[in-house]
Amino acid sequence: MKNELKWRLHRGEQTVGIWITIPHPDVSEALSTLPFDWFVFDQEHSPLDEQLTQELMQAMKGTRIVPLIRVAWNDPVLIKKALDTGAYGVIVPWVNSRDDAIRAVRACRYAPEGIRGCGPRRTILLDPDYLKTANREILVIVQIETEEAVEKAEEILSTEGVDAFFIGPFDLSTSMGLMGQVTHPKVQRAINRVFEVGKKLGVASGIWCGAGMTLKERLEQGWQFLALGMDLDFLLNGARMALEEAGVTVKKE
């Protein structure tokens, strides 16, 4: 197993990907024809389960896009299932302390480095050497989305085995009592603080674009793991643009 995305991030390279939430393989297959670096299959805020995710991942097989899964919680069982599906890494939500970060990392590692159960099924079909290489190649991304996590950013991001962080601006703004106000100066200061901590520690930085800045602006700032959006947004925006080009006024509720 060779996870080129992980080592690109470690080298400081910038990458762009999207969230997959629509539970049909036609979607991941179609979007995988575009030059994205990675897909995140979202098991936290979408209908995707292990079986659906595997089917969507199979639809993009043969592309250079790296499949990742955002698990629903920092739970070793959920992380194990995600990795056994064939994901090259996980995004773990609600990491608020060093202990949370250690828990996430250990769930991604086989013994003696961690507690991941050893029951290869699909992964061994993808790579006969998977058991030898997984501990080295699996990408661990922790999600920073609360005030507590911002305050403890240094202890979280200095945890051995954490490769990158991803900021959830909407949850972060809510945690700060500013629900949805992702452009609020207080929220942007918190985002920038975590970014600077990550840069100091050599941990790759990730964020959802459109949360106060465009993809172009975040690239210019030096962010490395950039989410352009999600499949459902692209579907809606494409339909909206087609209607507007036809002269139909679309009201945004």
Rounded to the nearest 10 degrees, what angle do helices 98-107 and 76-84 cross at? Answer: 40
What's the pTM? 0.96
Lookup: tokens for 156: 């979280």
Tell the residue number behind the tokens 């599906």, with chain if given.
Answer: 85
User: Judging by beta carbons within 10 Å of its beta carbon (0-12, 13-18, 19+), is residue 154 exposed, middle or buried?
Assistant: middle
- pLDDT score at 252: 67
* Residues annotated as catalytic (active site), given as ranges: 45
* Cβ atoms within 10 Å, residue 56: 25
What per-residue confidence (pLDDT) applies to 130?
96
Other residues' Cβ atoms within 10 Å of the Cβ of residue 165? 28
pLDDT tens profile 95-148: 999 999 999 999 999 999 999 999 888 999 889 999 999 999 999 999 999 999
Q: Which residues contact 90 (CB under 8 A, 6 or more apart)?
A: 68, 69, 70, 71, 79, 82, 83, 104, 108, 138, 139, 140, 141
The CATH classification number of 4-245 equals 3.20.20.60
Amino acid 250: pLDDT: 83
What is the percent of the chain with per-residue pLDDT over 90, rounded to a whole number?
Answer: 94
pLDDT score, position 211? 63
Spell out the domain ranges in the chain: 4-245
